[in-house]
């Protein structure tokens, strides 16, 4: 298995430190509903985790929740509720979204507010060894003390300074010094520290959680490519300077960003589609295939056409695994060549587009073999195993009770019938048939059943 590491800028042979792979992926800041840009990142890392386990490794996976932050505080103040209540509300919403997307839960989701002791320990340690300094209740990291600062972004301190949006603060020794501990303002959540009342800076929480739950060095650290600088860059220097051990993380993995009309999809830009909205229009397999059809390091452009293609692709796989086996035939379709292609693709830096291509080739072979009367049972099992266990597809028929579009059409047809508008009612019946639902009017009422799959 080879993984492209942002740190080295090349594909590297995957050699974990022990028989248990350690992996940390940056989580959400819960101040509003998660969007499909978040879904992209977490589905990608879900598939990576699934494949590592599929390949025979044990895996310990941690993902944080940033439950204290300027955006949370601002939104909570506007709503007139405590910041922790807002964070809890949207944390629960996020977990529900991940469950709906069939994302396997992390081993633990530590929260910034629950790790204050470890954060203070780290900040104090960095102050003690001269890598950090306190001014007016805030503590800053001294970037000029680290010779290799910028190694993840492959940039010098001067070039990073030229390209960054730097808030000039008179308290700081250098404009690029970053906050480890933030002195509190009136009305903000705060904790007692050696430097007075305050709260953690953004970057320090991830280092503290990774060190506490996974150890001083880890195998894989992941997140969106927008986190390379400054977040992950700062994680590296504060972690390595605190522990004195390198590397903090051996493989740095970053997914490309979801683009909407040329810009990345983000809460701050307001050009987002929430996961809940997406799930009202598309089932989970459609969303996952839309995302996995692009290599994880590439940007992905949102489009209705791409979602429609993913929807058709998901339906093709589902219908294939629902084919009858022809088990009485001694001729059997051998799925191993397709399984080999799938594994080769995933071993090559988790190339999901090629892995999906192998599955669709297998599906085509299954359908051709089934039409010829060949036993397809083993091939179907292989298709289901790889699609479900590795790519996280459900390949399950969606009942009309679970499908909001079908429910809406059923109600529309009923309204047309009550208005004695028979033509429109028949048109809606055909739309339902196209979606795989049969509608029959009986003396006892309307009977709704799934159409038999061919």
Residue 30 CA to residue 203 CA, distance in Å, equals 16
Supply the Cα-derived Rg of the chain in whole angstroms. Answer: 26
CATH code for the domain of 134: 3.40.50.620
Residue 74 within any structural domain of the chain: yes
Does residue 399 carry a pLDDT above 80? no
Q: Which domain holds residue 444?
A: 404-450
* Reported confidence tier of residue 418, pLDDT bands at 50, 70, 90: confident
Question: Average pLDDT for residues 1-9, to the nearest whole number?
Answer: 98
More confident residue, 196 or 271: 196
- Kindly report whether the peptide bond that precedes residue 230 is cis, defined as omega within 30 degrees of 0: yes
112 and 250 part of one domain: yes
pLDDT at res. 454: 39
Do 213 and 109 belong to one domain?
yes
Q: Average pLDDT of the chain?
A: 92
* Mean pLDDT, rounded, for 111-133: 98
Do 408 and 378 have their domain in common?
A: no
Report the percentage of the chain scoring pLDDT > 90: 78
Q: Is residue 269 part of a domain?
A: no
Position 449 pLDDT exceeds 80: no
425 plus 353 within the same structural domain: no
- Say what the pLDDT of residue 117 is: 98
CA 6 to chain centre: 18
Same structural domain for residues 168 and 302?
A: no
Tell me if 183 sits within 8 A of 197, measured CB to CB: yes
Residue 427 has pLDDT above 80, yes or no: yes
SS3 350: coil
Same domain, 183 and 223: yes
| 272 part of a folded domain | no
% helix, strand, coil for the chain, step of 5: 45, 15, 35
Give the tens place of pLDDT for each residue, 34-87: 999 999 999 999 999 999 999 999 999 999 999 999 999 999 999 999 999 999
311 by DSSP, 3-state: which?
A: helix
Instruction: Give residue 102's pLDDT.
Output: 96
CATH code where residue 367 lies? 1.20.120.640
Which token pair is 364? 């085509």
pLDDT tens digits for range 336-378: 999 999 999 999 999 999 999 999 999 999 999 999 999 999 9
Across the range 278-300, mean pLDDT stands at 95
d(CA 183, CA 12): 42
**269 confidence band (pLDDT: 50, 70, 90):** low
Q: What is the percentage of the chain residues whose pLDDT exceeds 70? A: 92
Question: Cis (ω within 30 of 0) for the bond into 247?
Answer: yes
Residues 410, 376 share a domain:
no
Please state which of the ranges 133-137, 291-295, 450-454 shows the lowest mean pLDDT.
Answer: 450-454
pTM: 0.86
Q: Is the pLDDT of residue 96 over 60?
A: yes
231 DSSP assignment: I
Euclidean distance between CA atoms 345 and 360, whole angstroms: 14
Quote the CA–CA distance of 191 and 45 in Å, as a whole number: 33
Does residue 108 lie within any of the structural domains? yes
In a domain, 177, yes or no: yes
Half-sphere exposure of 62 (CA within 13 A, CB side): 21
At 134, is the pLDDT very low, low, confident or very high (cuts 50, 70, 90)? very high
Q: Are residues 416 and 335 in the same domain?
A: no
Whole-number pLDDT of residue 270: 62
Question: Of the residues 390, 413, 430, which one is the last residue of a structural domain?
Answer: 390
What pLDDT was estimated at residue 453? 45
Q: Is 324 within a domain? A: yes
For residues 434 and 297, state if they share a domain. no
8 & 135 share domain: yes
Q: Is the pLDDT of residue 442 over 80?
A: no
Residues 6+ apart with CB under 8 A from 310: 282, 286, 287, 289, 290, 293
Query: Into how many domains does the chain fold?
Result: 3
Query: Which whole number is the average pLDDT over 127-143?
Result: 97
Residue-level pLDDT at 71: 95
Residue 118 lies in a domain: yes
Residues 34 and 77 in one domain: yes
| C-alpha–C-alpha distance, residues 454 and 435, integer Å | 14
- Out of 233, 264, 295, a domain closes at 264
421 and 348 within one domain: no
In a domain, 341, yes or no: yes
């Amino acid at each position: 298995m080879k993984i492209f590491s942002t740190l080295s800028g090349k594909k590297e042979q995957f050699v974990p430190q022990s028989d248990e792979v350690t992996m940390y992926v940056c989580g959400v800041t819960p101040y509003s509903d998660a969007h499909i840009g978040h879904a992209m990142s977490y589905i990608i890392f879900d598939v990576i985790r699934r494949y590592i386990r599929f390949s025979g490794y044990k895996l310990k996976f941690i993902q944080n929740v940033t439950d204290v932050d300027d955006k949370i505080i601002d939104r909570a103040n506007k709503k007139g509720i405590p910041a922790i209540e807002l964070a809890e509300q949207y944390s629960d919403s996020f977990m529900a979204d991940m469950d709906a997307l069939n994302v396997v839960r992390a081993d633990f989701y530590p929260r910034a507010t629950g790790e204050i002791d470890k954060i203070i320990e780290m900040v104090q340690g960095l102050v003690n060894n001269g890598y950090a300094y306190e001014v007016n209740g805030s503590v800053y990291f001294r970037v000029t003390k680290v010779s290799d600062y910028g190694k993840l972004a492959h940039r010098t301190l001067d070039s990073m300074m030229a390209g960054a949006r730097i808030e000039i603060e008179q308290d700081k020794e250098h404009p690029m010094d970053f906050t480890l501990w933030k002195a509190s303002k009136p009305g903000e959540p705060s904790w007692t520290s050696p430097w007075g009342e305050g709260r953690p800076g953004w970057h320090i929480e991830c280092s503290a959680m990774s060190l506490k739950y996974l150890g001083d060095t880890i195998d894989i650290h992941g997140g969106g490519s927008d986190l390379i600088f400054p977040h992950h860059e700062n994680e590296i220097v504060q972690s390595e300077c605190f522990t004195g051990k390198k590397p903090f993380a051996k493989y740095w993995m970053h997914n490309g960003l979801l683009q909407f009309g040329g810009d990345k999809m983000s809460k701050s830009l307001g050009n987002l589609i929430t996961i809940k909205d997406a799930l009202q229009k598309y089932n989970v397999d459609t969303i996952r295939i839309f995302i996995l059809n692009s290599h994880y390091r590439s940007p992905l452009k949102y489009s209705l056409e791409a979602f429609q293609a993913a929807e058709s692709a998901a339906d093709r796989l589902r219908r294939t695994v629902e084919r009858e086996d022809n088990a009485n035939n001694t001729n059997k379709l051998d799925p191993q060549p397709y399984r080999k292609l799938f594994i080769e693709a995933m071993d090559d830096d988790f190339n999901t587009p090629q892995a999906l291509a192998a599955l669709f080739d297998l599906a085509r072979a299954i359908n051709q073999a089934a039409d010829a009367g060949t036993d397809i049972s083993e091939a179907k099992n292989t298709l289901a195993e790889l699609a479900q266990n590795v790519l996280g597809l459900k390949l399950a028929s969606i009942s009309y009770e679970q499908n909001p579009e079908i429910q809406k059409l059923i109600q529309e047809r009923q309204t047309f019938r009550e208005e004695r508008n028979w033509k429109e009612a028949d048109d809606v019946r055909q739309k339902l048939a196209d979606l795989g639902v049969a509608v029959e009017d009986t003396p006892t009422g309307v009977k709704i059943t799934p159409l038999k799959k061919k």
